[in-house]
A = this chain, B = another copy of it.
């Protein structure tokens, strides 16, 4: 029995690109032993030192500085694109045209127009075009999703979600592409995209948003002297530039299934480094998730008698999605980190490429367009002073 081998490249060697690289490296170790595995071909970054470091760490054959080399590379079948999102479209379209399978980090594009063009390109392609909404791979979140979809919570009534991060709270965190681009390109695009994808993953399509408010809390930021990786302070030039997009976005929503939603997404939430969380209420139960305690979820239903009933803390384990077979540490309560989610995602992408459907597929470009339509509707609602905006 021989495993299928898929030649992979990762474009972008920053923190998230490394998470993709690590995901590919371990993708063949989990789930069915005879599934596909990744052949680590190339890692690309305009910063050559970064690319070399990643090549050496993860065991890629090559490090390169120009993504066009990947388009032309015969030994690359599949590519993760993990660069600033305004660069996605050109790269993805070239890769698809060259017959590559693509896994594009979220958000798909800075504008809905770009995203729709990319989805059209994906429709024209015969390869897999997937989007990296990694949190969908959380075993706990997926357990809640299954629970909702199986009807165990009854009729969905209310989804309350927040994505509270603090990475932009320090006024000395330097200016970067994250703070440019106009309404909708800030917290909404960065963490709101995760929030909306999570909501739709768990509770189905959002069909209307209203009451949107976008707020910029820190109006200007210092210009950095050089390139910065991640969110840390670096050397500064002494100049400042205006922040062009929102630090905080809030809105309400309606889901296709009749549930209503309340949302807040922030990059200035003091004390919360990674606070994506939600509660979902149905007529027969409720569930809750917090990414900061991703090895567990909370659930209520009516099964024990009231005297000893209450919100249950469930540790994910072999009874839950992703952990049923083939994950080395599959006992409940051992915990799962964000790194694990990238492994499951990489494997699902490889599985799709070779035609296996054991795992939930990655969200498609059309799914991502849908999510962007919701974010766009949020911006439109905010522009209209909170007016309700339907998603087509």
Contacts and interface: CB of A to CB of B under 8 A. Distances in A.
A295 interface: yes
A334 to B, nearest CB: 4
A152 to B, nearest CB: 7
Contacts of A274: 315, 331-334
A284 interface: yes
Interface in A325-364: 326-340, 342
Given A283-B217, A385-B388, A336 B333 contact: no
Q: How many copies does the complex hold?
A: 4
A53 B291 CA distance: 32
Given A213-B210, A311-B312, A260 B250 contact: yes
Given A211-B210, A335-B295, A307 B319 contact: yes
A247 to B, nearest CB: 8
Interface of A: 1, 3, 15, 18-19, 21-22, 25-26, 28-30, 33-34, 37, 53, 56-59, 143, 147, 152-153, 155, 157-158, 160, 162, 164, 167, 169, 209-213, 215, 217, 230, 247-248, 250-252, 254, 260-264, 266, 268-275, 281-286, 291-296, 299-301, 303-304, 306-315, 317, 319-320, 326-340, 342, 381, 385-388
A282 B311 contact: no
Nearest to A249: B260
Contacts of A294: 295, 335
A58 B3 CA distance: 12
Given A264-B262, A385-B210, A335 B332 contact: no
A328 B19 contact: yes
Contacts of A309: 271, 312, 314
A338 B342 CA distance: 16
Contacts of A254: 213
A29 B15 contact: no
Given A22-B26, A271-B285, A283-B169, A329 B211 contact: no
A219 to B, nearest CB: 12
B333 A147 contact: no
28 contacts: A15-B330, A19-B328, A19-B329, A26-B26, A29-B57, A33-B57, A157-B215, A158-B264, A167-B331, A211-B252, A211-B386, A230-B331, A266-B281, A269-B286, A270-B286, A272-B333, A274-B332, A274-B334, A291-B335, A295-B337, A301-B304, A309-B312, A312-B313, A329-B337, A329-B338, A329-B339, A334-B338, A385-B387
